[in-house]
Amino acid sequence: ETGVTQSPTHLIKTRGQQVTLRCSSQSGHNTVSWYQQALGQGPQFIFQYYREEENGRGNFPPRFSGLQFPNYSSELNVNALELDDSALYLCASSFRTSVLGETQYFGPGTRLLVL
Amino acid sequence: DQQVKQNSPSLSVQEGRISILNCDYTNSMFDYFLWYKKYPAEGPTFLISISSIKDKNEDGRFTVFLNKSAKHLSLHIVPSQPGDSAVYFCAASVYIWASNYQLIWGAGTKLIIKP
């Protein structure tokens, strides 16, 4: 069973640029969630994708967008980067069921630095 | 407005003793809680969860207790081992819509196990 993988591991961009982060779900999982974790804080929910559609969004502006592909892998795109976007970006996959509370499994994250 | 609070930024425990990590929440609609462990440069690793219909769940050295009336949960690790040194996050699952659940995270507690 393959776990959640993310690429790249580290990235440096300048303000105003655009970035694409990638995530491969754990085998058998159909749902991907993206989180932003600033230093010293818990992860903040960005959005979730289920069956290639956005299925819930946190308090992030529209310049944060995403995609989910038929193989359940996903991308997070951030346009017009700001200094405050510097953070660890975490991808989590899970299997959507009708049971309350699904457990999410995380990748190692992508560390983004915006200069 | 923090809905999930971990009030202790760090905790130091002697190897072999019990580690108790605490978490408080404010939203009575939360019905599923999870604990994750995070090492530096890695994504969070799922440890243990508990549904609101239970007050205790055990898995090996890890036990989670839930006190719904106090809106409080705790993670007990017995006995504590050096490999347990990590940041521990408490997360609550909240229903958004159409079977979509979002995780709300605490800020984390850094556990240090002293030899």
Quick one: closest CA in A to B48, which residue? Answer: A103
Split at pLDDT 50, 70, 90, the class of A98 is low
| pLDDT on residue A36 | 96
Instruction: Note whether B27 and B92 are within 8 A (CB).
Output: yes
Split at pLDDT 50, 70, 90, the class of B111 is very high
Neighbour-count burial for B54-92, b at 16+ CB within 10 Å, e otherwise: eeebeeeebbbbbeeeebebbbbbeebeeebbbbbbbbb
A56·B45 Cβ contact <8 A: no
| pLDDT on residue B30 | 87
Chain A interface residues (partner B, CB cutoff 8 A): 4, 6, 33, 35, 40-45, 48, 50, 55-56, 58, 90-92, 96, 98, 100-109
CA distance B48 to B61: 11
State pLDDT tens for residues B85-95: 999 999 998 77
Tell me the chain B residues in contact with residue A104 when contact means C-beta distances shorter than 8 Å. 34, 46, 103
For residue B53, report the phi and psi dihedrals to the nearest 5 degrees.
-85, -5
